[in-house]
Structure 1
Amino acid sequence: MTLTLAMFMLPAALTMPVAQAAEPPPGDDPFYAAPADLASHPNGAVLGTRTIPVLGLPIPVAAWQLRYRTTDSEEHPQLDVTTVLVPPVPWSGPRPVLSYQVPENSLDTRCAPSVTLRGGSDTDMTRIMQDAPFIGEALRRGWAVVVSDYEGPQSRLFDGVTSGRGVLDGIRAARSFPPAGIDAASPIGAFGYSSGAFATLWATQLRREYAPDVRFVGTSAGGIPTDIPTMAQLADGAEGAILILLGLARNEPASRLADLLNDEGRRALRAAGTSSCGADMAQKYSDIHVDDFATVPNLLAHPAFRNAARPNELGRTTPDTPLYLYHSVTDEKIPVAGYTALVDTYCAQGATLTAIHSLFPTHIGAAAGEALGGLNFLADRFAGTPQSPGCVVR
């Protein structure tokens, strides 16, 4: 009864300004500061812990935040934070663990899930509100939930390797934290939508080479960002295109994409780390096109932009875990053609997957309409029900 109440309280709490105002942003919070000996610790090592009230409210769910070491795409050690939620539901045997990747469309750590989940001040709280019912459903089922800040301390949007490694090491950290009651015997599933799906699938692709000790029994992902240049072109004139441009310019200096920014673009890039939550960008750059920030025409088709996007595209490696993927055929943010191509690539590489071309309209519609199918797929994997090899596409 108390957990059912908590599930309903999660989304409602996100509208309460009192709960959102007390916590400092990561730049002012010593918990996010990397220790001087960070590089000496192994990936996934827990370097500090704290308990939190979820959303700043007395919800009956045990919640901790863990600082942990990971390695970014440039092979630099970095400190990430993960939030571990455990429901007061008895479980016979190893408790399942759901690695839940919240969509984080930002270049600013104020928008990280660890901030919003503890009730921090954030102009983009609607991102968590969309996920709260599904996190609540996972907790209702008795699963532990791990929500990592996979973009890391520089909020590296659409950095595939950094995101995937952040997810994997967040699981390692949670698994080595005794109070959570999960360990190496706990089955692990991964779930994410939109930019959360991007991180989820990158983690699934990287698992074998980077974290062979982390084994997923299944992965569910929807609204999957693919063909980043086409996605940016579709979003041009909205904050999404500017987020992608500034993120790739900052993340991929070797592409020389930043050299093609004009004065306004360079000012936006310098400010990105402190004013680039999605909601900030929507207010600040409404009706701004990418070429308004560029010294060359048609920047989104320029080789520098494509070179920055290319190493972060999904599909380079075949996931070795059963997949459940879904995408609206009328997705207005991420064209379904890229999803279909990714499914074809995974199937040609021998993946085991179920792929849904969803009839739920729009990007947000498929997020709400298909999530239960994704959670049920993972519930079957947690229960030990085998998935038949091969591809089922519908």
Structure 2
Amino acid sequence: MWWRIGRQWLAILALALITLPAALSMPVARAAVPPPRDDPFYAAPADLASHPNGAVLGSRTITLLGLPIPVAAWQLRYRTTDSEEHPQLNVTTVLVPPVPWTGPRPVLSYQIPENSLDSRCAPSSTLRGGSATDMASTMQDAPFIADALRRGWAVVVSDYEGPQSRLFDGVTSGRGVLDGIRAARSFPPVGIDASSPIGTWGYSSGAFATLWATQLRREYAPDVRIVGTSAGGVPTDIPTMAQRADGAVGGLLILLGLARNEPDSQLADLLNDQGRRALLATDTSACSADLAQKYPDIHIEDFAAVPDLLAQPAFRNAATPNELGGTAPDTPLYLYHSVSDEKIPVAGYTALVDTYCAQGATLTAIHSPFPTHIGAAAGEAFGGMKFLADRFAGTPPAPGCVVQ
């Protein structure tokens, strides 16, 4: 009987995903979802600092993507701590499928890439169908989230960049992931607890947050036991990434994000008038689609008051604290990266793998033949999902470092 119910649910889910683009184009549905800055649910309580990290400070049920998908869905407000040691209110979206499970249900913490400096494009907003300008990441990740739900796993999707959308802030992102898992685990209606095995997954900027979480787990959240991590298209060597993205929106996102996140670096002082105006507007008009429309031909030099801004010590000082590799994760890892990635050069990925291996990580690393950044995201997803399924089943990973 449960098998028949599962098939019916999968048919409904598949139909909903097929009709997703049309549903998201409906202006009436979007108008019902206010941006986070206008939604009281995102407002931090006055006593935020008095609560422990991961504490649930409010909840609400939602309709996933504004569609009639038979998935139990909640959003939880929770306390976390940012990289400057300030208490912060984050929001996570928790999804549970109507698929029976015997024993503790596995939990997948799924980090959607948030290529944005504006909370309108945070996952909690886009998963409700609330942003018309930057749905690309959610659309690309919907099939992978659906596959996890099909398998019966609970899925936790946290706004790991926080209320300021701190792109490439490693500590803030990692802590946001770990405390989002804590929040979901302590919310009784979800039906998961400390005995539920936890896996993490992310691609691109989602991989950045995922791996920072694994690096920080032992020190910051030893109670969060992660049995396996899959991550691909891993952002490494941030200055080289910015150079590669010069002439596209990605370069400007990195520049403005680091200038805003790392004020002590004095990177903001190297911006010209246009750069300072763009920096001031990041909170309200800095989803990647916004910037691409506003600056159709983007070059970092157009925003700089000095020549060769990316080679300046201030830029390096802002980027270096947020590079991956400082601590080897104690979680089994499955990493993958296209050898022809046009956005994130594979050399940085190879160097990170070598660093993790030298530090004693348990790691399978794939140098993928699938072409381009997006190609590897789709082509290597099966391997990443299988790795997590094996960990949830209790199958031990291959020991040591396996590099392909």
* TM-score, scaled to structure 1: 0.99
Aligned letter for 1:42?
P
User: What SS does the aligned partner of 2:102 have?
Assistant: coil
In 1, the alpha carbon distance for the partners of 2:160 and 2:132 equals: 17
Q: Report if aligned partners of 1:7, 1:133 keep a CA contact under 8 Å in 2.
A: no
Q: What secondary structure sits across from 2:305 in the alignment?
A: coil
Determine the structure 2 residue equivalent to 1:3: 9
Separation (CA, whole Å) in 2 of partners of 1:363 and 1:379: 24
Whole-angstrom distance in 1 between the partners of 2:288 and 2:182? 29
Distance in 1 of aligned mates of 2:108 and 2:202: 10
Which AA in structure 2 matches 1:333?
Answer: K
Q: Which amino acid aligns with 1:339?
A: Y
| Residue among 104, 107, 113 paired with 2:114 | 104
- For each residue in 1:313-357, what CA deviation from the matched residue of structure 2 results, as whole angstroms up to 9, or x when unmatched? 000000001000000000000000000000000000000000000
**Alignment match, 1:119:** 129
* CA deviation after TM superposition for structure 1 residue 48, in Å: 0.2
Q: CA deviation at 1:7?
A: 3.6
Correspondent of 2:144 among 120, 130, 134? 134
The amino acid that maps onto 2:128 is R
Alignment-mate amino acid for residue 162 of structure 1: T
Which residue in 2 is equivalent to 1:368?
378
Residue 390 (1) aligns with residue 400 (2) = yes
What residue number does 2:189 align with? 179
> Partners in 2 of 1:148 and 1:6 — Cα distance?
25
Structure 2 unaligned regions, length at least 5? 1-6
Q: Determine helix, strand or coil for the equivalent of 1:273.
A: helix
1:11 is displaced (CA, Å) by 5.6
Question: Equivalent residue for 2:161?
Answer: 151
The list of structure 1 runs, each at least 4 consecutive aligned residues, that deviate by more than 6 angstroms after superposition, is: none
Residue 290 of structure 1 pairs with residue 330 of structure 2: no
1:324 aligns with 2:331: no
| Distance in 2 separating the partners of 1:77 and 1:347 | 34
Note the alpha carbon deviations across 1:35-72, whole angstroms, 9 max, x for none. Answer: 00000000000000000010111110000000000000
Partner of 1:208: 218
User: How does the TM-score come out when normalised to structure 2?
Assistant: 0.96
Counterpart-to-counterpart distance in 1, 2:107 and 2:228: 11
2:88 is aligned with 1:82: no
CA distance in 1, matches of 2:223, 2:12: 33
Aligned counterpart for 1:39 among listed residues 26, 40, 49 = 49
Answering whether residue 256 of structure 2 is matched by residue 250 of structure 1, we say no
Question: How big is the alpha-carbon RMSD for the aligned residues of Structure 1 and Structure 2?
Answer: 0.9
1:263 is matched with: 273
Which among 73, 81, 102 is matched to residue 83 of structure 2?
73
Q: Per-residue deviation at 1:13?
A: 1.4
- The 8 Å contact of residues 119 and 283 in structure 2, kept in 1 or not, is answered as yes
Q: Deviations over 1:349-372 (max 9, x none)?
A: 000000000000000000011011
Measure the CA separation in 1 of the matches of 2:36 and 2:18.
Answer: 23
> In the alignment, is residue 13 of structure 1 matched against residue 20 of structure 2?
yes
- For 2:195, the aligned partner's letter is A
In structure 2, distance between residues paired with 1:310 and 1:295: 22
Deviation, 1:388, is: 2.7
Cα pair 1:11 1:129 within 8 Å, conserved: no
Aligned to 1:344: 354
User: Aligned residues: percent identity?
Assistant: 82
What's the CA shift for 1:6? 4.2
Q: How many residues align?
A: 394
How far apart in 2 are the matches of 1:66 and 1:271? 28
Match of 2:243 in 1: 233
Distance 2:178 2:311 in 1: 33
Question: Are residues 255 and 194 of structure 1, via their aligned partners in 2, closer, same or farther at CA, if it must alter by over 3 Å?
Answer: same
Q: Which amino acid aligns with 1:366?
A: A
Structure 2: which amino acid aligns with 1:41?
Answer: H
In structure 1, what residue type is equivalent to 2:8?
T
Q: Distance in 1 between matches of 2:18 and 2:282?
A: 28
Q: Deviations over 1:123-178 (max 9, x none)?
A: 01111000000000000000000000000000000000000000000000000000
Matches of 1:11 and 1:55 in 2, distance apart?
A: 12
Residue identity opposite 1:165 in structure 2: R
Q: 1:95 is aligned with what amino acid?
A: R
In structure 1, give the amino acid aligned to 2:386.
N
Q: Which amino acid aligns with 2:253?
A: L
The reply on whether 1:61 has 2:71 as its aligned counterpart is yes
Task: Compare 235-244 and 283-292 and name the one that shifted more.
Answer: 283-292
Question: How far apart, in 1, do the equivalents of 2:186 and 2:20 lie?
Answer: 30
CA–CA distance in structure 1, aligned partners of residues 352 and 264 of structure 2? 26
Amino acid paired to 2:314: A
State the AA in 1 paired with 2:308: N
